Amino acid sequence: MLIKDLPEDERPREKLISKGAESLSDSEILALFFGTGRQGISAIELGREMLKKFDSMRNMSRASFEELLSIDGIGPAKAAQLAAIFEFGKRLAKEPFNDQAITTPEEVYELVGTEMQRLTQESVRAILLNSQKRLIQVAEIFVGTGNQSFANPPEILRKVISHSAASFILVHNHPSGDPSPSRADHDVTRRMKEASDAIGVEFLDHIIIGGHSVSENRSPYFSFREAGLF
């Protein structure tokens, strides 16, 4: 059934106007972005197909442009619109941190934890801060696979210096879900601290993001500073 054939109060746009955006299902929200479906199916049904393929909106938000294009009915215009919307959501989530200092592992986890937990590849990021410990940028330094060792300290510090950051926090994820540091993680942290001290840049912490905790008593992240390993 096409959207125009639905009762008026069941059409996504009219439903949003009369009942609010929170009343819409995920597929109805996608339908509003798409505007149209493809031949034979409505925009709502196209949204359902995408949710089935990616399992969730969260997974869809991490899909590449090419992966979005692989869906029948999603052309370059719709794929670009989706990519822009997902990027808007990420930036909106980071916006509150522009006006507050970031000093604790909990704040780092709130900033990037949820996003990094759903990655299937290792991502190394530097949270760049000004002299008031306020966010300048979250810079991705390296993307790898499995347990591949990440970027070396000079490469990370080049990014820190190029943005005139006074301090930074190193963050990376463990796709396995276990945030416990490896020997390589300990080694990189030590070398990072030595290199930062040598050039007078404050290295505040190295935080590893794991998966959602199986045990309520276990944190989904590991902080080297919190563990007294600095």
Mind listing the pLDDT tens digit for each residue in 67-91?
999 999 999 999 998 888 888 887 7
Residue 172: Cβ-neighbour burial (10 angstroms; 0-12, 13-18, 19+): buried
φ, ψ (nearest 5 deg) of residue 3: -60, -40
* Terminal alpha carbon distance of the chain: 61
Which of 52, 69, 92 delimits the end of a domain? Answer: 92
Which of 41, 75, 92 delimits the end of a domain? Answer: 92
The pLDDT tens digits along the chain (230 residues) read 567 667 777 788 898 898 888 899 999 999 888 888 888 888 889 999 999 999 888 788 878 889 999 999 999 999 998 888 888 887 777 766 667 889 899 999 988 998 888 788 889 999 999 999 999 999 988 887 555 556 688 989 999 999 999 999 999 999 888 999 999 999 999 999 999 999 999 999 999 999 765 455 678 999 999 999 87
How many domains does the chain divide into?
2
Q: What is the CATH number of the domain that holds 157?
A: 3.40.140.10
Same domain, 87 and 108: no
φ, ψ (nearest 5 deg) of residue 151: -50, 150
Q: What is the mean pLDDT of the chain?
A: 86
Q: How far are the Cα atoms of 9, 37, 51, 62, 64 from residue 82, in angstroms, in the given order?
A: 25, 14, 13, 11, 11
Same domain, 55 and 148: no
212/113 Cα distance (integer angstroms)? 10
Same domain, 84 and 118: no
Residue 117 lies in a domain: yes
Domain with 136 in it: 100-223
176/192 Cα distance (integer angstroms)? 24
Please state the pTM of the whole predicted model. Answer: 0.66
Residues in the chain: 230
Residue 1: Cβ-neighbour burial (10 angstroms; 0-12, 13-18, 19+): exposed
Torsion on CA atoms 95, 99, 101, 106, rounded to nearest 10: -30
pLDDT at 150: 63
